[in-house]
């Protein structure tokens, strides 16, 4: 299980709006809020997006809580984030080579770049549509402080 700390920023009936409190740096410079220099940071941005989770532990606004999530969800998400663009690169290159094999390697390279960009666009759309899917994956397990 993966455990992470979050801050309850609001309540709406039986749901709690929370924000993840980043406590671990990425390893490049030690910043915990995200620098935005990586390609993923530029594409997906480091904006804080509140999540709404069922308030099963009776947390109130201002409480810090621990969230728990299965490692398999992180693995699936990582495979999608890194694997899809790679597959789209190969698909774009193969598609271009098959249909434009007499045109040369430059067009195959362009096909790979187009495939990569298409893969990133599809991931961005999927991420925006499935942002709330985290409701089913993460759950509050205990209040750390109020």
Mean pLDDT across the stretch 60-73?
Answer: 85
Give the residue-averaged pLDDT of 75-84: 84
- In the sheet with 15-20, reading across from the earlier edge strand, the strands are 51-54, 15-20, 2-12, 64-69, 139-145
- Give the pLDDT of residue 117: 95
Spans of all domains in the chain: 2-145
Closest CA to 46 of 61, 64, 31: 31
Is 56 or 41 the better-scoring residue by pLDDT? Answer: 56
128 pLDDT higher than 80: no
Distance CA 117, CA 131 (A): 21
Mean pLDDT of 8-26: 79
User: Given pLDDT bands bounded at 50, 70 and 90, which one contains residue 43?
Assistant: low
């Amino acid at each position: 299980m993966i455990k992470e700390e979050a801050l309850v920023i609001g309540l709406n009936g039986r749901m709690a709006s929370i924000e993840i409190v980043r406590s671990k740096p990425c390893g490049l410079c030690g910043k915990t809020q995200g620098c935005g220099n990586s390609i993923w940071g530029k594409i997906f941005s480091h904006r804080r997006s509140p999540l709404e989770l069922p308030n099963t532990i009776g947390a109130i606004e201002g409480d810090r809580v621990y969230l728990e999530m299965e490692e398999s969800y992180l693995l699936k998400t990582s495979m999608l984030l890194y694997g899809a663009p790679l597959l789209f690169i190969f698909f774009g290159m193969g598609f271009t080579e098959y249909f434009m094999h007499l045109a040369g390697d430059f067009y195959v390279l362009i096909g790979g770049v187009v495939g990569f960009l298409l893969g990133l666009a599809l991931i961005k759309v999927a991420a925006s549509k499935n942002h709330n899917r985290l409701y089913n994956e993460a759950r509050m397990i205990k209040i750390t402080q109020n």
